[in-house]
Amino acid sequence: MDLVQISNQKKPTGAGKHYWRSVNELDGTAKLEGWLDQEFPAGPVNDSSRRQVLKLMGASFGLAGLVACRRPEEKIMPLSKGVEDLVPGKPLLYNSVFVHAGAAAGVRVTTHDGRPTKIEGNPDHPYSEGKATGLAQGALLNLYDPDRSKQVSEKGNESSWEKFGAFAKTHFDGVGNGDGLRFLSQRVVSPTLTSVREQALKKWPGAKWVEWEPVNNDNALAGAQLAFGNVVEAHYHLDQADVIVALDSDFLNLDSPTVLPARQFTRKRKVTEPGDAIARLYAVESQFSATGATADHRLRLRAGAIAAFTADLAALVGVGESKTLSGEKERKFLAALAKDLKANEGRSVVVAGPRQPAEVHALAHAINQTLGNCGKTVTFTQALAEPMLDGLKALAADLSGGKVSTLVMLGGNPAHDAPADLDLAGGIGKAQTSIHLAHNANETSALATWHLPEAHYLESWGDARALDGTVSIQQPMILPLYGGRSALEVVAQLAGLPSAKGHDLVRGFWQGQWPAADRERVWRKALHDGVVANTKFAEAKVTAKAPAAGAKAPGTGYDVAFHPSSSLWDGRYANNAWMQETPEPMSKLVWDNAAMVSPATLKALGATQGDVISITVGGKSIEAPVMVQPGHADQAISISLGYGRKNAGRVGDGVGVNAYPIRTTAGLHIAEAQVAKTAKTHKLVTTQEHFRMEDRPIIREATTAQYKEDPKFAEKMSEMPPIDSIYGYHSYEQGYQWGMAIDLNACTGCNACLVACQAENNVPTVGKAQVSRGREMHWIRLDRYYTGTGDEAQSVSQPMTCQQCETAPCESVCPVAATTHSPEGLNDMAYNRCIGTRYCANNCPYKVRRFNFLNWHKEDEEVQSLVHNPNVTVRMRGIMEKCTYCVQRIQEKKIQAKVEGRREIKDGEIVTACQQTCPADAIVFGNIKDPGSRVAKLRHQERNYELLAELNTKPRTTYLAKLRNPNPELA
Amino acid sequence: MADLAIKPPLAELNPPLVEGNHSYSTVTHTVSGIVERKTPKQWFIAISISGAITLMMLGMIGYLFLNGVGVWGNNSPVGWAWDITNFVFWIGIGHAGTLISAILFLFRQKWRTSINRAAEAMTLFAVACALLFPLIHVGRPWRAYWMFPIPNTDLNMWQNFRSPLLWDVFAVSTYGTVSALFWYVGLLPDLATLRDRARTRIRQLVYGVLSLGWRGSARAWRHYEMAYLILAGLSTPLVLSVHTIVSFDFAVSIIPGWHTTIFPPYFVAGAIFSGFAMVVTLMVIFRYAFQLEDLVTIKHLENMNIVMLATGSIVGYAYATELFIAWYSGNMYEKFAFLNRTTGPYWWAYWTMVSCNVISPQFFWFKKLRRNIPFMFVISIFVNIGMWFERFVIIVTSLHRDFLPSSWGYFRPTFVDVCTFIGTLGFFTTLFLLFVRFLPMIAISEVKGVMPAPGASERGQH
Amino acid sequence: METAQITPFAAIAEFDTPGALVQAAEKVRKAGYSKTDALTPFPVHGIDEALGIPRSHLGYIVLCIGMMGTAAALLLQWWTGAVDYPLVIGGKPLFAFEFSIPVTFELTVLFSSFAAVFGMLALNGLPRFYHPLDNARMTRRVSDDRFVLVIDKSDPKFHPVETIGFLRSLNPISTELVED
């Protein structure tokens, strides 16, 4: 029995379908709304990203049933054993694949009654290992974006897929050999789409297919081309390296794919006892990145000066002739670094970031080869694709030359995010017919003749090749909410292939690849595992030739560096409230981007934080608020892309500054700019306003040497007065005693846990205005502190969530006993008992309690409630909430154990949402009374300490002190 | 009253408590006259203004209920701000009334008689204003009754008696109830007077019912005096306990700046301080408005100013002690809390508090100034302001920067905060205006008890 | 007072100072009258002794009820916290005297105050909205500035004519025989 039957049984009638085609038509809703408005009328205090709780609760009851009929009708393979024992309300897990800017990562999707509610990493996928980045998890919310484009439109007028089909038939028969036909897609890593593309191009030999991603790895590919003569993909094995040099590379957070490097790196940083050696990381960068924050040595250098630095480094390790372009300050650093690298030949690696020019990449390869790292800490395979910028340039030329009659744009937002000097927006208008497929009717759709709604990846069939070649099948979890179609399906339709159904295309393609005998088995296994066996590329043997002397001394103006936003990437998540409210890991900035500068530069500009400055590159200029970033390179500005959208939707419109207008083909990543202060100011809002530790022992840190000397340094850092209770203590000996240990030495502050918690626990978003009042709701936050001076600052980050104190100060003060202690040591919150005195929050020394000051769900549309986890209450206004150690997950496993007739829950069986997704495995949860449990072992490490132990709160969450491994010569 | 007999000789040296040539009936007439005379037009003007302000307050509360606590400036970490500041401020005001009626009674301070009625009324109205806030500051006001130990059908749960907030609920509601009883018992004989003087049927009925048929029989007086004595005896520890328990809301917590053992005495002194300031403010106005200069003499006002001087100095001493202990304790969080109070983002609030509460009452060392009515009026206003700021400083500056700098924040009030507080001032004034219009604002029978019996001296009574 | 046949309720005499009243009261008691009372605008000291009125025992009532308040408070906190719905809160015990003190104190005071007020009213038989003495002309001014001495008809020595005569001998402002 398969899902077809299931869904048929459950399908309530057409009503469900009708409901889904247009959300507002369900007449019941109108009544509900009316009633709600009496109950909670809107007031001026509301702002755009609030959600409407009662509406949502009402809706989700109804929807649970309704969405059942949304299950895909093709056969897909649930991970759980067979669908026969499907229990309504019991989640099903499916493996699929999430493609992000050309990098595929396997995901495991949790669906409740056919609603995808949570994204986790697929443990079997090499680029996930069970973990997912904040972006990968947050992308889920786009599925339920109420602003998604809901129908086909022609020249802005309503149309339909049928009408489009008819048009396409006649039109594309008429394009002859396709001289005037151009395809513009995002990076294609789908083997099926690749084959469909080939068929299309065979049909129209004159046609051209161009790919564009505003944030891409062209430089890396070009660098490989320079170094090895052919385009290869470099794969770094950081877990093999003792010395790592990151040249403007934020491999721990920004430079996708980040999960794998983060895992490899942190594996090398974990220690169990003082003796253990840990890798040493050098970071040379302009903006302060998460990687720089983790580094043992960080050199702040203008993005434009890093090429020179690399040349010097290369010379010092014996590549090319020495030019010593770098300044005095860098020399000492260079010498020590070179020495350290030479001392670790074969066990070191130099990684260049995607924003650095090809020359730097080439030099890095050369250095690695000279140090004998190639084949050890860095290996190579064939690349998935060629650099894409030239293609786009050609397209732009053809467009302006009027050579293009039909332009098919598959996804993306080229009119908005293509290099400004190409003026693609203008070009698109020149094409007689332009077709644009997109999730949202965005800036580009406005210019296109036809706009087609695109299916979300959770709605459509597909496949994707990871950077190492591993193929995963993309399974849909839910039928397209708004009848969207995937790029694959559209191209197939245009090319007039026999079937334009994603399932048939993907299945058909792969069946063709496998021996007829066990096709079915391989297919089912591929779906089940989320990876297709033996599809990895073979290692490529390459040798780097001495690089051409390209590096030159940096210019004298300001460097402006463009990097993707850690929240909105290139802008594609602009309408995603989760991501908008996810703080930028270093500055904690939300709902905005800003021109990041060093304190010195701020002074030089005569500006103060929030002043608006104008940044001019080659005549074009933008105005952006300036924000001070300790540790940022002087005479340099970093600004993240993806903000300042005009057509994103109710959440993303007009948030932040659009940096694309000054991003040209010449300076795609780094450009020289003129900067001037304007009279305007702009209010920047952060989730953390104070970044000094005030000499308090909050995040405890030592060097490996100090650690060896005094293993118990962490405990000794807080002065413990003799404390006791007049009552004596409650004993927590019976049964499970839950606890958590967080290894600050592993945490990179990447926010993955924050988004995981948001999705798992239905944490609402509140919007900029409310965050500015300090009302953000995140149950887990990452506290960022700067140490050292403003310029040469170091930075540490600490995940902060409810500490589940055994003598919880919050409990004692609640007049109505709404927060009490469970026998298993959990600090429980009884939402329906809470009356909201906020006394508990006042008395919480860790300030982890979150209060629903207003009804955050007021403006929800029904579709937005589909994302909620049915196992977690959605909290109404006026009550307190906080981390529960994911009590719903604990209970689920306890019930499961009971059902299976087991006595004990195995260690590691229960994983909290934050722990589950942490790429660094920094968070460990378990039974602290079980000496064999991982958490107990960690708590027994000497580095273990309780935060604010002097208050006698007896927290169940403890921290393991951070370690740095500085180079003695630089100390 | 019993105190007629054991009047200390000192009292003879004191200036008379009733000035001018008054007989029993002129006292009766002066006081009752206020209630019986035709309502003056100024009264109507006053109450229409204060009534309008009260309506604004109700509007603000309605708006709050519809939208949630978010309409105020409260945030995380500052979970309590103007709401609890106003609560403590009003409760403090209340204390003077009980102090005058109970403690001064036990100390045989006969000068209290002409001000205790008004002061007690003030207590009641202040407590009414105060009680508003615990009820409306909660996130779900429709569930506020869960703070009382009423068997609860929703969850069958009980209250948490470890919570200082719950102690507060008991303390404040008890305080309100007992003050009301005390006040009413005091009113009985005067209500009887009004009944007997009543000319219209309606007055006869209303005051007749309210006076419960009091006839001033000697056999009744002895129970009455006993009851009054007991109530005074009970109110004295009660009034001390109330602000002690209010201070527990802070002292029992662990927040630096709250967690201090000095709070109970410090709060009680502050309460009496602010209360007397409010009594002076009101008395100066009303003795002028209703020509009561003979009954509320300059002597009364001077005494109250002396109490303000004393309590104000105690409060100042408490501020100094706090700072010293913060430094002496060597506790880094404590140290920072007070450094932040005096020099942090809210320094202006702290120094407003100090100058209003510590410096301004010091002028009362000079007899000239403490008998100067315009001057004392201004000072009393300053003290009211200063005491409001004291509560603001304690609550907000302690909360906005506690243990983890990552969660530090800043509180800004919204217009709803401001209007709600101003509204309570209007509410308080309205209640007081109604009181002076319909009830004797001076305890007639008590005043008669302390004035020399006219032409009775030769009978050797006094 | 339109009643046809006249039944006296009490004989009363009116004085203008507390002193006169007390002196007269002394004489009345010496004359052997026991069912006596006085109406005064404020509690006149010495009148109780003069008329031989015993001390009030309201205090004992208040004490008992106050103790009940104490017991009720402790019972409430112990039963709700430790028996009916025990919850571990802040690792503190289910019941302890330390945290029970404030509520216990408050409830004791509350109960006592109610006892004091309602006890007083009960002992005085209040509220009572009609009383024969109200028929007397002079009692109207008692709440203002008059002091009235009352000899009740239930007194064994009471005689409508003689008692009035005796009262006149105490040189009051006036005397009156109040009708029932």
Residue A205 has pLDDT above 80, yes or no: yes
pLDDT for the residue numbered A748: 92
The rounded mean pLDDT for chain A is 86
Structural domains counted in chain A: 5
How much of chain A, in percent, has pLDDT values that exceed 70? 89
Task: Tell whether C50 and C62 lie within a shared domain.
Answer: no
pLDDT for the residue numbered B91: 92
Task: Tell whether C96 and C152 lie within a shared domain.
Answer: no
Q: Residues A538-566: what's their mean pLDDT?
A: 80
Q: Say whether B230 and C126 touch across the interface (CB within 8 A).
A: no
Residue B344 within a domain: yes
Which of A651-665, B219-233, B257-271, C132-146 has the weakest average pLDDT? Answer: C132-146
pLDDT for the residue numbered A79: 56
Which of A272-281, A714-723, A829-838, C117-126 has the weakest average pLDDT? Answer: A714-723
Task: Tell whether A793 and A939 lie within a shared domain.
Answer: yes
Query: Which residues, 6+ apart, have CB-to-CB distance to A669 below 8 Å?
Result: A219, A303, A354, A355, A356, A357, A561, A562, A563
Give partners of C (≥3 CB pairs < 8 A). A, B
Q: Say whether C90 and A817 touch across the interface (CB within 8 A).
A: no
Cα atoms in the Cβ-side hemisphere of radius 13 Å centred on B60: 27
Q: Say whether C102 and B170 touch across the interface (CB within 8 A).
A: yes
- Domain with residue B341: its CATH number is 1.20.1630.10
Rounded to 5 degrees, what angle do the CA atoms A170, A172, A175 make?
115
Task: Tell whether A170 and A251 lie within a shared domain.
Answer: no
Between A308 and A24, the more confident residue is A308
pLDDT for the residue numbered A420: 92
pLDDT in tens, B20-29: 667 787 878 7
Cα atoms in the Cβ-side hemisphere of radius 13 Å centred on C5: 0
Q: Say whether A845 and B162 touch across the interface (CB within 8 A).
A: no
pLDDT band at A27 (very low <50, low <70, confident <90, very high): very low
Tokens of C141: 């001014």
pLDDT for the residue numbered A73: 58
Across the interface, which of A41, A775, A798 has its CB nearest the CB of B76? A775
Taking the C-alpha atoms of residue C10 and residue B458, their distance in angstroms, rounded to an integer, is 30
- Domain with residue A605: its CATH number is 2.40.40.20
Residue B156 within a domain: no
Residue B152 within a domain: no
Taking the C-alpha atoms of residue A317 and residue A686, their distance in angstroms, rounded to an integer, is 43
- Domain with residue C166: its CATH number is 3.30.70
Q: Is B290 on the interface with C (CB under 8 A)?
A: no
Task: Tell whether C71 and C92 lie within a shared domain.
Answer: yes
Task: Tell whether A120 and A32 lie within a shared domain.
Answer: yes
Residue B250 within a domain: yes
Single-letter residue type at A555:
G
Cα distances from A731 to residues A682, B161, B201, in angstroms, run 53, 21, 71
Taking the C-alpha atoms of residue C151 and residue B351, their distance in angstroms, rounded to an integer, is 68
Q: Is A831 on the interface with B (CB under 8 A)?
A: no
The structure tokens 């918690």 sit at A757
Residue A549 within a domain: no
The structure tokens 């009654």 sit at A113
Q: What is the domain range of residue A234? A: 218-382
Task: Tell whether C138 and C160 lie within a shared domain.
Answer: yes
Q: Return the residue of A nearest to B395 by Cα.
A: A842
Residues of A in contact with C98 (CB under 8 A): 726-727
Residue A547 within a domain: no
The domain boundary residue, chosen from A327, A361, A382: A382
Taking the C-alpha atoms of residue B332 and residue B402, their distance in angstroms, rounded to an integer, is 11
Q: Say whether C98 and A811 touch across the interface (CB within 8 A).
A: no
Between B101 and A835, the more confident residue is A835
Task: Tell whether A650 and A740 lie within a shared domain.
Answer: no
Across the interface, which of C18, C77, C144 has its CB nearest the CB of B196? C144
Residue A47 has pLDDT above 50, yes or no: no
Q: Say whether B402 and A879 touch across the interface (CB within 8 A).
A: no
Residue A552 within a domain: no
The domain boundary residue, chosen from A116, A139, A162: A139
Do strands A208-211 and A181-185 pair parallel, antiparallel, or not at all (unpaired)?
Answer: parallel
Task: Tell whether A349 and A397 lie within a shared domain.
Answer: no
Mean pLDDT, chain B cut into blocks of 10 residues (462 residues total): 40 55 78 82 93 95 94 93 94 86 81 82 92 92 90 82 94 93 91 87 89 87 91 91 93 92 91 90 86 81 91 94 91 92 94 93 92 92 94 94 93 94 95 90 82 51 36
**How far apart are the CA of A689 and the nearest CA of chain B, in angstroms?**
7
Residue A874 is classified by DSSP as P
Q: Say whether B193 and C41 touch across the interface (CB within 8 A).
A: yes
Residue C2 has pLDDT above 50, yes or no: no
Q: Residue A40, Cβ neighbours under 10 Å: how many? A: 22
Residue A355 within a domain: yes
Task: Tell whether C113 and C137 lie within a shared domain.
Answer: no
pLDDT for the residue numbered A65: 43
Residue C139 within a domain: yes
Give partners of B (≥3 CB pairs < 8 A). A, C
Taking the C-alpha atoms of residue B258 and residue B248, their distance in angstroms, rounded to an integer, is 9
Between B45 and A88, the more confident residue is B45
Q: Return the residue of B nearest to A799 by Cα.
A: B406
pLDDT in tens, C16-67: 888 888 888 888 888 888 888 888 888 888 888 888 888 888 999 999 999 9
pTM for the whole structure:
0.88
The domain boundary residue, chosen from C96, C124, C152: C124
Across the interface, which of C89, C93, C96 has its CB nearest the CB of A821? C89
Task: Tell whether A378 and A413 lie within a shared domain.
Answer: no
Task: Tell whether C136 and C51 lie within a shared domain.
Answer: yes
Residue B458 within a domain: no
Residue A81 within a domain: yes
pLDDT for the residue numbered B10: 39
Residue A68 has pLDDT above 70, yes or no: no
- Taken in order A519, A525, A527, A533, the sign of the CA dihedral is negative
pLDDT for the residue numbered B96: 82
Cα distances from A9 to residues A2, A4, A85, A116, C45, in angstroms, run 11, 9, 15, 20, 95
Residue C76 within a domain: yes
Residues of C in contact with A812 (CB under 8 A): 89-90, 92
Q: Residues A333-344: what's their mean pLDDT?
A: 92
Q: Is A806 on the interface with C (CB under 8 A)?
A: yes
Q: Return the residue of B nearest to A695 by Cα.
A: B332
Residue B383 within a domain: yes
Task: Tell whether C25 and C14 lie within a shared domain.
Answer: yes
Task: Tell whether A391 and A514 lie within a shared domain.
Answer: yes
Q: Return the residue of C nearest to A823 by Cα.
A: C88
Q: Return the residue of A nearest to B133 by Cα.
A: A837
Q: Residue A88, Cβ neighbours under 10 Å: how many? A: 10
Q: Return the residue of B nearest to C96 by Cα.
A: B162
Q: Say whether B213 and C131 touch across the interface (CB within 8 A).
A: yes
- Domain with residue A202: its CATH number is 3.40.50.740
Which of A812-821, C106-115, C128-137 has the weakest average pLDDT? Answer: C128-137
In C, what residues contact A, Cβ < 8 A?
87-93, 96, 98
Query: Which residues, 6+ apart, have CB-to-CB distance to A270 below 8 Å?
Result: A276, A278, A743, A745, A746, A921
The domain boundary residue, chosen from A357, A382, A407: A382
Structural domains counted in chain C: 2
Between C170 and B162, the more confident residue is B162
Q: What is the domain range of residue C80? A: 58-124
Structural domains counted in chain B: 1
Interface of B with C in 386-445 (CB under 8 A): 444-445
Residue C2 within a domain: no
Task: Tell whether A332 and A422 lie within a shared domain.
Answer: no
Biggest distance spanned by C-alpha atoms of chain A: 91
Cα torsion through B407, B412, B417, B422, rounded to 10: 140
ipTM: 0.90
Q: Return the residue of B nearest to A693 by Cα.
A: B405
pLDDT for the residue numbered A941: 92
Interface of A with B in 197-236 (CB under 8 A): none
Taking the C-alpha atoms of residue A932 and residue A102, their distance in angstroms, rounded to an integer, is 42
Single-letter residue type at A466:
A
Q: What is the domain range of residue B418? A: 15-144+161-452
Q: Return the residue of C nearest to B180 by Cα.
A: C113
Task: Tell whether C70 and C119 lie within a shared domain.
Answer: yes
Across the interface, which of C17, C76, C110 has its CB nearest the CB of B456? C17
Q: Say whether C89 and A812 touch across the interface (CB within 8 A).
A: yes
Cis peptide upstream of residue B77 (ω within 30 degrees of 0): yes
Q: Say whether B139 and A800 touch across the interface (CB within 8 A).
A: no
Across the interface, which of B157, B214, B217 has its CB nearest the CB of C85? B157
**How far apart are the CA of C156 and the nearest CA of chain B, in angstroms?**
19
Cα torsion through A709, A712, A717, A718, rounded to 10: -160
pLDDT for the residue numbered A44: 39
Task: Tell whether C112 and C82 lie within a shared domain.
Answer: yes
Task: Tell whether A204 and A234 lie within a shared domain.
Answer: no
pLDDT for the residue numbered A719: 81
